[in-house]
Amino acid sequence: MFLQQLINGITLGSTYALIALGYTLIFGVLNIVNMAHGEIFMFGAFIGLILATKFNMSIFSALLGAMVAGAVLGYLMERLALRPLRRRKVSELAPLISTIGVSIFLESLALRLFGPQAQSFPSIYAAQLFEVGGLKISAVQIIILAISFGLMVALRFWLAKTRLGKSIRATAENIETANLLGVDTQKVIVLTVMLASALGGGAGVLVGLAFNAIEPTMGITMGFKGLAVLILGGLGNITGAMVGGLLLGIAEIFSVAYGVSSYRDAVAFGFIILLLFLRPQGIFGSKEQQGGR
Partner 1 sequence: MVTRSIKKKGIVSLFLMVLTVMVLGCSSEKSGNKGAASDGSTAKIGVVSYLTGAGAAYGESIRQGLELASDEVNAKGKVKLELIFEDSKGEKNEAINAVNKLIHKDNVLSLIGPTLSGEMFAVGPIVNQEGVPIMGTSLTVEGITEIGDYVFRNSLPDSAAIPQSVKKAKEKFNLKKVAIMYSDNNDLAVSGFKIFEKTLKEIGVEVIAVETFADKNTDFSAQLTKIATLNPDAIMVAGLYQEAALILKKAREIGITVPVVGNNGFNSPQLIKSAGNAADGAIVASPWFPGKDDAKVKSFIAAYKAKYKKEPDQFAAQAYDALQIMAIAIEKTGSVTDRQKLRDTLATVKDYSGVTGKFAFDEKRNPSMDVTVLVVKDGQFTELK
Partner 2 sequence: MEFLLNPYYMQLITFIIINAILGISIYLTLSTGQLSLGNAGFMSVGAYTSALLTLKAGVPLYAAVPLGGAAACLLAAIIGIPTTRLRGIYLAIATLGFGEVVRVIILNLKITNGALGLSSIPSMGVMLSKGIAAFGLAGGIGGISVRQLGSIAVILILALILGFLIFFALRLSSSRLGRAFAAIKADEHAAEVSGIDTRYYKLLAFFMGAFVAGIAGGLAAHITFYIGPKDFAYHRAVEILLFAVLGGSDVVWGPILGAVLLTVLPEVLRFATEYREMIYGAILVLMMAFRPQGLISESTLALWRTKLTRQPKIAGQDKVTRRTTP
Q: Which residues bind partner 2 (CB under 8 A)?
A: 33, 80-81, 84-85, 88, 90-98, 100-109, 111-112, 220, 224, 227-228, 231, 260, 262-263, 265-266, 268-270, 272-273, 276-277, 280, 292-293
For the bound state, the minimum distance from the C-beta of residue 262 to partner 1, rounded and expressed in Å, comes to 4
129 binds, among partner 2, partner 1, none (CB under 5 to 8 A by kind): partner 1
For the bound state, the minimum distance from the C-beta of residue 80 to partner 1, rounded and expressed in Å, comes to 19
CB atoms within 10 A of CB 113: 12
For the bound state, the minimum distance from the C-beta of residue 129 to partner 2, rounded and expressed in Å, comes to 32
Reduce the secondary structure of 15-50 to three states and give it as a string: HHHHHHHHHHHHHHHHCCCCCCHHHHHHHHHHHHHH
259 binds, among partner 1, partner 2, none (CB under 5 to 8 A by kind): none
x-marked contacts with partner 1 along 227-266 as a string, rule CB under 8 A: -------------------------xxx-xx---xx-xx-
Gyration radius (Cα) of the chain, Å: 19
CB contact at 8 A, 293 and 279? no
For the bound state, the minimum distance from the C-beta of residue 16 to partner 2, rounded and expressed in Å, comes to 15
For the bound state, the minimum distance from the C-beta of residue 245 to partner 1, rounded and expressed in Å, comes to 14
At CA 147, angle to CA 243 and CA 9, rounded to 5? Answer: 45
CB contact at 8 A, 49 and 180? no
118 binds, among partner 2, partner 1, none (CB under 5 to 8 A by kind): partner 1
CB contact at 8 A, 23 and 37? yes
x-marked contacts with partner 1 along 105-124 as a string, rule CB under 8 A: ---x--x---xxxxxx--x-
CB contact at 8 A, 20 and 245? yes
Measured from the CB atom, is 19 or 227 closer to partner 2?
227
Identify residue 52 by its one-letter amino acid code.
A
Strand intervals (E) in 32-153: 129-132, 135-138
For the bound state, the minimum distance from the C-beta of residue 205 to partner 1, rounded and expressed in Å, comes to 14
Measured from the CB atom, is 91 or 262 closer to partner 1?
262
53 interacts with partner 1 by CB under 8 A:
no
Identify residue 30 by its one-letter amino acid code.
L
How far is the C-alpha of 36 from the C-alpha of 39, rounded, in Å?
5
CB atoms within 10 A of CB 179: 14
How far is the C-alpha of 39 from the C-alpha of 219, rounded, in Å?
5
**Which residues contact partner 1 by CB under 8 A?**
1, 4-5, 8-9, 11-12, 108, 111, 115-120, 123, 127, 129, 136, 138, 207, 211-213, 215-218, 221, 252-254, 256-257, 261-262, 264-265
